[in-house]
Amino acid sequence: MRFTSERRLEDGVLVRDFTLGEIRGTLWTPASAAPAPLILTAHNNGLPRHEPRLVARARRTAAHGYTVASIDAAGCGDRPRSAADEQARADLRRAMRAGEPVDDIFESFIAPLVEKATPEWRTTLDALLELPGIDGPVGYSGWTAVGIHLAATDPRVTAASLFTGGYVPSAQREEARSITIPLLLLLQWDDEGNPRDRALTLFDTFESKEKTLHANTGGHTGTPWFETEDALRFFDRHLKRG
């Protein structure tokens, strides 16, 4: 892991961009020198990690006392997209315009992205936990499908706040049955691209004893600001020590 830039914000949060092989990421570290629990914040494929809402949330989370890491995984942000990705996006646009079913296209497009992104998150996690001042336990926030795949395969992830804002591949809908860590599932009630009944079925599928669903009116990008604060309290219950 190599840091390529570093700046200190007014609230004392340290922001550093890093590279790790082909992975491009950003690390937000709280002002306090004490070791802080780590939260991985994964956005899904459509957004770059520098998107202002994501940055604002990461900064708020670091100011609250967590180390926050974000990466543009394979095919995300400004990383190169494969010819197959580009073809799938074109197919998707065409099918949506024509009002045709899009599930098969989503499955063939998103499932490989999840398969490629998850090992990159694991590599990032390995490298982060070797840095001084970064401490477990580890929380996960964001892209639901990657969160499921990572939590199902990496016992270091001990709590997850998932945003059900996109297509969840069939493999992860199945893996959800094996998830037992505390979960906060966040859903936009009128999300154009994510049928509500699927999100509710997914919530029902998780085996976690402690799982909470939050739903708000509005479309995909309409999540109210107070949900960032609610997520912090969720992590405080599960990641803070003592």
Cβ at position 212, least distance to a copy of itself in Å: 5
Count of residues that interact with a copy of itself, criterion CB under 8 A: 20
| Binding to a copy of itself in span 70-129, by CB under 8 A | none
Coil vs helix vs strand at 79: coil
Which one, 3 or 226, has the nearer CB to a copy of itself? 226
Which one, 100 or 236, has the nearer CB to a copy of itself? 236
**Cβ contact 163:184 at 8 Å:** no
Structure tokens at 81: 């997209």
Contact letters (x/-) for a copy of itself, 139-178, by CB under 8 A? ----------------------------------------
Displacement of CA 49 from its chain's centroid (Å): 10
Contacts of 78 (CB under 8 A, 6+ apart): 24, 48, 72
Sign of CA dihedral 163, 183, 170, 205: negative
| Binding to a copy of itself in span 182-221, by CB under 8 A | 189, 200, 203-204, 208-217
Which one, 26 or 188, has the nearer CB to a copy of itself? 188
Cβ at position 125, least distance to a copy of itself in Å: 27
**Cβ contact 137:181 at 8 Å:** no
| Host H or E run for residue 86 | helix 83-97
**Cβ contact 135:38 at 8 Å:** yes
Measured distance between the N- and C-terminal CA atoms of the chain, rounded to whole angstroms: 31
| Host H or E run for residue 92 | helix 83-97
Which one, 8 or 233, has the nearer CB to a copy of itself? 233
| Binding to a copy of itself in span 218-237, by CB under 8 A | 224, 226, 229-230, 233, 237
Cβ at position 228, least distance to a copy of itself in Å: 12
Which one, 79 or 214, has the nearer CB to a copy of itself? 214
Cβ at position 241, least distance to a copy of itself in Å: 18
Cβ at position 221, least distance to a copy of itself in Å: 16
Instruction: Report d(CA 237, CA 232) in Å as an integer.
Output: 9
Q: Please report whether residue 3 would count as binding a copy of itself according to CB under 8 A.
A: no
Instruction: Report d(CA 14, CA 21) in Å as an integer.
Output: 22
Which one, 3 or 189, has the nearer CB to a copy of itself? 189
Instruction: Report d(CA 67, CA 160) in Å as an integer.
Output: 15
Which residues contribute to the site for a copy of itself (CB under 8 A)? 189, 200, 203-204, 208-217, 224, 226, 229-230, 233, 237
